[in-house]
Structure 1
Amino acid sequence: MNKNKTGKEKLISTGMVLLFSIIALVALFPVIALVVASFSPASDLMRFGLTAELFLSSWNTENFVALFGGEGGAYWQWYINSLIISAFLIVLSLFFSSMVGYALALYEFKGKRFIFILVLLILMIPFEILMLPLFTMMISLGLVDSYFAVMLPLIVAPIAVFFFRQYCLGLPKELMESGRVDGCTEFGIFARIMAPLMLPSFAAMAILQGLTSWNNFLWPLLVLRSNDMFTLPVGLATLLTPYGNNYQILFSGSVMAIIPIIILFLFFQRFFIAGLTSGGVKG
Structure 2
Amino acid sequence: MKEKTSQGKLFTTLLVVLFSIVAFLALFPVISLVVASLSPASDLMRFGLSAELFLSSLEFENFEAIFSASGAQYWQWYVNSLIISGVLIVLSLFFSSMVGYALALYDFKGKRFIFLLVLLILMIPFEILMLPLFQMMIAFQLVDSYLAVMLPLIVAPIAVFFFRQYAVGLPKELMESGRVDGCTEYGIFFKIMAPLMLPSFAAMAILQGLTSWNNFLWPLLVLRSNDMFTLPVGLATLLTPYGNNYQLLFTGSVLSIVPIIILFLFFQRFFIAGLTSGGVKG
Q: Does 1:43 align with 2:42?
A: yes
Matched residue, 1:7: 6
The Cα of 1:46 is off from its aligned counterpart by 1.3
Q: CA deviation at 1:207?
A: 0.1
- 1:33-72 alignment to 2 at 5 Å? 33-69=32-68, 71-72=70-71
Instruction: Measure the CA separation in 1 of the matches of 2:71 and 2:134.
Output: 29
Amino acid at match of 2:64: V
- 1:247 aligned partner: 246
- How far the C-alpha of 1:70 sits from its partner, in A, is 5.2
In structure 1, the partner of 2:220 is 221
Deviation at 1:71, TM superposition (A): 4.4
> 1:66: how far off?
2.5
Q: Residues 151-197 of structure 1, C-alpha deviation per residue, up to 9 Å, x if partnerless?
A: 00000000000000000011000000000000100000000000000
Equivalent in the alignment of 2:76 = 77
Letter in 2 for 1:230: F
Instruction: For residue 67 of structure 1, report the CA deviation from its aligned partner.
Output: 2.4
Cα separation, 1, equivalents of 2:240 and 2:46: 20
The C-alpha deviation readout for 1:103-136, integer Å capped at 9, x for no partner, is 0000000000000000000000000110111011
Report the counterpart of residue 210 of structure 2 in structure 1: 211
C-alpha distance in structure 1 between counterparts of 2:147 and 2:53, whole Å: 43
- What is the alpha-carbon distance in structure 1 between the residues aligned to residue 63 and residue 142 of structure 2? 34
Alignment partner, residue 23 of structure 1: 22
Equivalent in the alignment of 1:121? 120
Check the 8 A contact 1:97/1:164 in 2, yes or no: yes
Q: Counterpart in 1 of 2:143?
A: 144
Aligned-residue sequence identity (percent) comes to 84
Q: Which region of structure 1 is more displaced relative to structure 2, 90-99 or 49-58?
A: 49-58
TM-score relative to the length of structure 1: 0.98
Cα separation, 2, equivalents of 1:208 and 1:144 = 26
Q: TM-score, normalised by structure 2?
A: 0.99
Q: Where does the alignment leave 5 or more consecutive residues of structure 2 unmatched?
A: none
1:132 aligns with 2:131: yes
Unaligned runs of 5+ in 1: none
Q: Give 1:210 shift.
A: 0.2
Task: Provide the rounded CA distance (Å) in 2 between the counterparts of 1:137 and 1:183.
Answer: 42
CA distance in 1, matches of 2:67, 2:133: 34
| 1:170-249 matched pairs, under 5 angstroms | 170-249=169-248
Q: CA deviation at 1:73?
A: 2.8
Amino acid at match of 1:193: I
Q: What amino acid does structure 1 have at the position aligned with 2:162?
A: F
Report SS of the residue matched to 1:74. Answer: helix
Conserved 8 A contact 1:169-1:282: yes
Q: Partners in 1 of 2:125 and 2:64 — Cα distance?
A: 40
Q: Is the 8 A contact 1:68 1:75 kept in 2?
A: no
What root-mean-square deviation, in Å, do the aligned CA atoms of Structure 1 and Structure 2 show? 0.8
Match of 2:106 in 1: 107
Number of paired residues?
A: 282
Deviations along 1:31-86, one digit per CA (max 9) or x if unpaired, are 00100000100111112110000111111111122223354330010000000000
Deviations 1:206-264 (A, max 9, x none): 00000000000000001101111000000000100100111222000000000000000
Q: Secondary structure at the match of 1:184?
A: coil
Residues 7-38 of structure 1, C-alpha deviation per residue, up to 9 Å, x if partnerless? 00000011101110111011000000100000
